[in-house]
Amino acid sequence: MDTPLPDSNRDAALRALYADLHKHNLFPFWAKASDVEHDEVRQLMATPKAVPFLWSYRRDIEHILNRAVELITTEDSDRRSVILVNPGLAPRRATVSTMYTAYRLNDANEIMPPHRHSPSAIRFGLQGKGNFTGVEGEDIVFGPGDMVLTPIDTWHNHGTVGNERALNLSVLDLPLVETLNAVSFDHDYKEGERLMKKQSARFPENYSERIYGTGGMRPRFVNHVRGAGFSSPMYVYRWEAMQAILDRHADWDGDPWEAISVEYIDPTTGGPVFRTITFFAQMLRPGERTLPLRQTASLLVAPFKGKGHSIVDGQRFDWEEFDTLAVPGGCWCEHANGSDSEPCYLFVASDEPAQKAFALYRRWGRTKSGEVVRLA
């Protein structure tokens, strides 16, 4: 049997061992949590994490976008977006660990060149009727509340049509794709052998609405594989249709934790529009307040109409139209409409599909009595 080292010799040997591990880019995982100097459990859990945070559009973002339009031209860059960086993850370009939100203000009659990338993205109209996105040969002009897909590896370009500026909000899964080391971008769009600054339209006007605008009916006379074939073939979802569904159910009980919430889906499968992230519109009736909900999925909540507040892990965030609230996975969250007479509408992004793909998605609710229950 080996003779135990004296305490002083053992401490010196341990320090030398830890130094050697660090030198060779190794991490000790024997979890000797009582060792204050080398608390491996604490170190293991101390990786950067997103924190609940609210960005105010009116106070923090609007004036920056207006200045950027004046100073950054299409000759300077192919894009002019402002990304929301979570303070807990900075300097990483991430609003929560798997997604980021960006705001884009396009000047009048401004079209950026086509590009494509491996991250999936959407554009959600906020102001102006002339937001423009060309996606895989479908020219889409969109306004407030309309959602436009730019799926993985699908050529697209952005801008405005008409003689006024237009504002939209983007959500991308780029932080997740970066983590998986799978980011790629391509800016050399060709038709034949010719480099093009704008895609030629190959589909009729309002193609997405004409083919997919009636739920429960699937035309058999078109090919539903579009772009890379991994996302919804319906590239634009109009707010008018979404609000009609929400308002039609204003007198329903709804879900105590999510109120009246409607998911945007792939009309050919019934699943989410992307395999990594999904999107909802959520209506809070006058004076309505949801019960606290905790889930493993991270959320980006963008109030579209109305004012109110959210409580995330005990912290209150007062929001209004066009703000963005980051709700990291694992946080308790509840929302409240600030009006007793008007509904408010939230646009929500979630990484739920990615978590479900790995069987990691879980959620819990707190009842009115304070009991925590596991939700299906």
375: left (phi over 0), alpha (psi -120 to 50) or beta: beta
What pLDDT score was predicted for residue 117?
94
Note down pLDDT in tens along the chain; length 376 residues. Answer: 566 656 678 888 888 988 898 899 887 777 555 555 666 666 666 789 999 999 999 999 999 999 999 998 877 777 789 999 999 999 999 999 999 999 999 999 998 889 999 999 999 999 999 999 999 999 999 999 999 999 999 999 999 998 999 999 999 999 999 999 999 999 889 988 899 888 899 999 899 999 999 888 999 999 999 999 999 999 999 999 999 999 999 999 999 999 999 999 999 999 999 999 999 999 999 999 999 999 999 999 999 999 999 999 999 999 999 999 999 999 999 999 999 999 999 999 999 999 999 999 999 999 999 999 999 7
What pLDDT score was predicted for residue 4?
60
* pTM of the predicted protein model: 0.92
- Residue by residue, what is the 3-state secondary structure of 284-350? ECCCCECCCEEECCCEEEEEEECCEEEEECCEEEEECCCCEEEECCCCEEEEEECCCCCCEEEEEEE
Q: What is the C-alpha separation between 226 and 136, in angstroms, rounded?
A: 8
Q: Which CATH superfamily is domain 53-368 in?
A: Jelly Rolls (2.60.120.10)
Q: What is the C-alpha separation between 175 and 90, in angstroms, rounded?
A: 12
Burial class (CB in 10 A: 0-12, 13-18, 19+), 92: middle
In degrees and rounded to multiples of 5, residue 354 shows phi and psi of: -65, -40
- Residue by residue, what is the 3-state secondary structure of 115-180? EEECCCEEEEEEECCCEEEEECCEEEEECCCCEEEECCCCCEEEEECCCCCEEEEEEECHHHHHHC
CA 133 to chain centroid, in Å, comes to 18
What pLDDT score was predicted for residue 41?
67
| Residues making up the chain, counted from first to last | 376
Q: What is the C-alpha separation between 219 and 314, in angstroms, rounded?
A: 49
Q: What is the C-alpha separation between 6 and 197, in angstroms, rounded?
A: 74
**Domain map (residue ranges) of the chain:** 53-368
